[in-house]
Structure 1
Amino acid sequence: MLNSTLHQSLQQWLGTAIGQYLLEQERAFYDSIVSDIFGYNAVQISFPEFDFLRSNRMPFRFVAGLEKGSSAYAHPHLLPIGSRSIDLVLLPHTLEFFPNPHQILREVHRILIPEGKIVISGFNPFSSWGLHQHITTSKNQFPWCGNFIALPRMKDWLELLGLETNTGKLGCYIPPCGSEKWISRLRFMEAAGDRWWPIGGGVYFLQAVKHERGMRILKPCWENPPKTRSAPATTQVDRQINSDAVGKGVGNNVKLK
């Protein structure tokens, strides 16, 4: 749970140039990926300040969390949501700022329908952002107080739960500098980093799909059933011939006189 001090730190950090830069990058990614995911129910867990489901077209979308502004007041460790009832779950940095991220992933796996999708964003510890976390003196401030999870470890956690990663991306290659002037000067690093240093992005994004063994989707058969060949019609003469042949103990090869 984000306590009041950390929540206030989050609001202050989002007012900075680097905070706005991060929010811009994350909104662009979420808008592009959730717009093509269809279903009926979608939930974002924690951080109700950010409406990352805004471009999704599912009829029922809500935010579950303990923060003020959440649609459903719920702890991410124990979600009051029915099993196999959600088509899409978003975890925007949720696993880094709540204890026991494994239990959160287990709850997400439980509420997802088969073939449901989960989208995760997290800070990359092997980047300039991860380096800044180690050298900064503001370790109690957002986001440096979070438990950054490495991308390979996150993929292992998903695989253990039967969640197959099918899409991934890194972004925020600009170092976490506090000046808008330097952020503008370093904008070229987004395109250059994505091409020349793809593992050095400050934030990673993952999309995974829940698979269950033994499932088979049955589709209706819209094709017309094959036509059966009807037996040839017999005439009165044919029936009389067959009857005479049977009476004489011969086969069907009978000649008319």
Structure 2
Amino acid sequence: MQQWLDTPPGRYLRDWEQAAFDGTVSDIFGYHALQLGLPDIEALRSNRMPHRWLGLQPDEQARGLRPHLVAESHALPFEANSLDLVVLPHSLELSLDPHATLREVERVLVPDGKVVISGLNPASLWGLRQRRARALQKLGFGHEFLPEAGEFIGSRRLRDWLRLLNFEVEAGRFGCWRPALSTEKWLARYEWMDRLGERWWPIFGAVYFVVAVKRVRGVRLMGSPFKRPRKMATAPVPVTNRGHKIQHRKDAT
């Protein structure tokens, strides 16, 4: 995936996603944030949380001297309910067990913490070309357009997974509507499709972008937790005053 991002379509996709992450995470507040995977996209660079980490898989490498930690996506070295934000740039589709990765994200997020996910859309021109290329490869022809690693996870399928883990989808969008072309020259010729795609065929963008919030159901108290003490029935009590006259009163309870 990292090598593919250096190709013309990879740079086109990376630029769109970088802008999408920048505009989204800048308004998410807290103390601890984690980007899991794909260091070529600096998904947290516009976020202002004081503690931000880049988590990489054992087979990934961070370019330059960016500080990072190495961890399996299904076993993150963080306590439960400790992170305010987790961003997953293509991390689920590149994971060997995307279900386990998403469950681990749910574990480490605080209640009302947010996860931001990007992924390749199988219902797009890019997805169609990838499926066609894989079919031809089985016959010994051609090569794949998208990275060989990873599998498509559709936007609707992802939303179902999030719902099962008590996430609430807060926002979603698609991007990159240009055809699956390999050269920068031909990609530039179809720039007009980006201007029209969001309005006329939004769900066919090559990439989707989802923001979800972790919801924790509260415990509902049945009835009032405090019971008023019952009033004791009292009878008149004779009281002798200084004049040796007998009066009656009721004790206050």
State if a TM-score over 0.5 links the two structures.
Answer: yes
CA contact (8 A) 2:33 2:52 kept: yes
Aligned to 1:158: 162
Deviation of 1:105 after TM superposition, in Å, equals 0.4
String of CA shifts for 1:66-101, please: whole Å, max 9, x gaps.
222361110001111110000000010011111110
**Amino acid aligned to 2:118:** S
Amino acid at match of 2:116: V
1:143: Cα distance to partner? 2.2
Identify which of 34, 57, 63 aligns with 2:54. 63
Identity over aligned pairs, percent: 48
Alignment of 1:164-179 (within 5 A): 164-179=168-183
Q: Which of 85, 102, 110 is residue 82 of structure 2 equivalent to?
A: 85
SS in 1 for 2:85: strand
Deviation at 1:142, TM superposition (A): 4.8
Q: Secondary structure at the match of 1:83?
A: coil
Contact 1:18 1:178 in 2 (8 A): yes
Structure-2 change in CA distance of 1:144 and 1:215 (3 Å): farther
The structure whose Rg is larger is 1
Q: Which runs of 4+ in 1 moved over 6 A?
A: none
Corresponding position of 2:12: 21
SS at match of 1:20: helix
Q: Does residue 29 of structure 2 align to residue 38 of structure 1?
A: yes
Measured on the aligned residues, the alpha-carbon RMSD in Å equals 1.8
What is the one-letter code of the residue matched to 1:187?
E
Structure 1 residue ranges without an equivalent (≥5) = 1-6, 217-246, 250-257
How many residues matched?
A: 208
- Tell me the distance in 2 between the aligned counterparts of 1:71 and 1:215: 38
SS at match of 1:78: coil
Contact 2:55 2:70 in 1 (8 A): yes
- Deviations along 1:156-183, whole A, 9 cap, x unmatched? 0000000000100000101120121221
Q: 2:209 aligns to what SS in structure 1?
A: strand
In 1: Cα distance, 2:156 partner to 2:202 partner? 14
Structure 1 letter corresponding to 2:126: W
Q: Is the 8 A contact 1:133 1:144 kept in 2?
A: no
Aligned mate of 1:209, from 203, 209, 213: 213
The CA distance in 2 between the partners of 1:157 and 1:81, in whole Å, is: 22
Q: 1:15 to 1:114 in 2, by over 3 A?
A: same
Correspondent of 1:73 among 70, 73, 94: 70
Q: TM-score, normalised by structure 2?
A: 0.78
Counterpart Cα distance in 1 of 2:215 and 2:38 = 27
Greater share of helix: 1
TM superposition shift of 1:146 = 2.1
SS in 2 for 1:29: helix
Q: How does 1:175-254 map to 2 (within 5 A)?
A: 175-214=179-218
Question: Does the residue aligned with 1:181 lie in a helix, a strand or coil?
Answer: helix
Give me the whole-angstrom Cα distance separating, in 2, the residues matched to 1:44 and 1:138: 31
